[in-house]
Amino acid sequence: MKEAVQLKDGEYTLWGFYHHPFPDDKKACVLIFHGFSGCQPGPHFMFRDLSRLLEKESISSLRFDFLGSGESDGDFDDMTFSDEVREAELILTLAKELGYKKIGVVGLSMGGGVAAMLAGRRPKDIDALCLWSAAGDLPRLFEEGATEDMKKSIEKLGITDVGGLLLSKAFIDEMRSGEVNIYGTVSNYEGPVLIVHGDADPTVPIEHAYKYKEIFGDKGELFVVKGADHVYSNKVWTNNVLEKTVSFLKLHLRVGK
């Protein structure tokens, strides 16, 4: 079954979808986090397809648009990384209130950074973590990606244009503050991790994946998709990522045991 769901965050509302088998034994639920400027269906509907595949395996899922993205309230220029981490915690709380005994997390790109932060902050509540093209050193990534025109716009106007969206000075200031430490935070997590990355990713270099693997050691499995870009925009790449992810989640969420 698929249901439209909403989650209140103060005066704002996050909108998303809740997939679950019927009848639902509440064994396992996966939280799916989109990336920077993305939305809950995912690039070429990867998140939607993941939810459908998980449902067939008796695993539920929750996928929301973060505030300022997709159908959720707010504007993109109000978005900060720490806000998305806080929203991820609200989504985790919802899954626990729904009665799920096992919880997994999947995050893409900056959503992978959000997933990593959530696992590091709430390690006892997360039973499996899956990172797709996940940003690790997010501040460095944004600093290196910022053009001189973008930097001038931020300093002069407090906002800058990123592909037709406005990015705020608050977001950039947070990146420059030294307070965003994804690798340090996720090191608190001791559960199983699947690290998925394309070796031709032009957005988040594969070195981020190697660093995650170094942090997790034997707890982390690195799955390199040969030739793949940032969002696996080839049906073969997509199918490989989805198959590997579903297999990983089935194993570590112990569905059917």
In a domain, 61, yes or no: yes
* Tokens of residue 46, six digits: 């990867």
CA distance 248 to 162: 35
The verdict on residue 163 lying in a domain is yes
Looking at every residue in the chain, the average pLDDT score rounds to 95
Q: What is the per-residue pLDDT across 29-72, written as a single tens digit (0 to 9) for each?
A: 999 999 999 999 999 999 999 999 999 999 999 999 999 999 99
Within-domain flag for 132: yes
Residue 241 domain-assigned (yes or no): yes
> In this structure, what is the dihedral angle of CA atoms 62, 64, 66, 72, given to the nearest 10 degrees?
-150
Q: Is residue 111 part of a domain?
A: yes
257 lies in some domain: no
**What CATH number does the domain containing 14 carry?**
3.40.50.1820
Closest CA to 89 of 60, 123, 56, 41: 123
Burial of 23 (0-12, 13-18, 19+ CB in 10 A): exposed
Give pLDDT tens digits for 103-155.
Answer: 999 999 999 999 999 999 999 999 999 999 999 999 999 888 888 888 889 88
Residue 138 is assigned to a structural domain of this protein: yes
In a domain, 31, yes or no: yes
Rg (CA), the chain: 17
Question: What is the pTM (predicted TM-score) of this model?
Answer: 0.96
State the residue range of the domain holding 24: 2-252
In SS3 terms, 107-128 reads as EECHHHHHHHHHHHHCHHHCCE
Q: Which of 107, 133, 102 is nearest to 118 (CA)?
A: 107
As for how many domains the chain has, the answer is 1
